[in-house]
Amino acid sequence: MRLWVGLGNPEPGMARNRHNIGFMALDVVARRHGFGPWRQRFKGLVADGQIGGEKILALKPMTYMNASGESVQPAAAFFKIPPPDITVFHDELDLAPGKLRVKRGGGAAGHNGLRSIDAQLGTPDYWRVRLGIGHPGDKQRVLSYVLGDFSRPDLDWLLPCLDAVADEAALLATDKPEDFMSRVAHLTKDQKNGV
């Protein structure tokens, strides 16, 4: 079993925030792949299903971003899922909007959700799907930017990106992160150009 975690904040008024792109990605993946209904467990919402022959437990922590690890750690412990079988989907300021990178381990780079998970798991040795939201250009504007809603023009890159993540999720589930990144980049390039 693998644990896929989408990061975000639980308030209904925050659902369209840039910081909630992890929740959005997991929602599209779960819908596309016919996961069971979301239910409350581990201080979050969980749903399960299969992708690429792998059993996946999807988790959206309802702890608020800064305490995400308080949901991730008990879920991982209960199912005995080691960090290398955990994948976290989160917003990334340092990537252009719609760009995506997958990496294992590394620092939290100022992301409080990752910092909380690192602290609770005791290691950063899990996978991260970094979903680019761009940077507002000024460090002083970062908080209001990530907690701001995606704009209507953002949907032109956001929806194709989320669809591509769901379309190619089997590559991620079967340990082919490089292929996953390439396919998502190809699909989003074609969709942006209207092909």
Catalytic residue set:
19
Report the distance separating Cα 195 and Cα 46, nearest Å: 36
Closest CA to 130 of 166, 97, 169: 97
118, burial (CB in 10 Å: exposed 0-12, middle 13-18, buried 19+) = buried
The β-bridge relationship of strands 2-6 and 54-61 is parallel
Report the distance separating Cα 129 and Cα 87, nearest Å: 7
* Residue 40, φ and ψ in degrees, nearest 5: -80, 130
Report the 10 Å Cβ neighbour count for 178.
Answer: 9
Q: For residue 109, which amino acid is it?
A: A
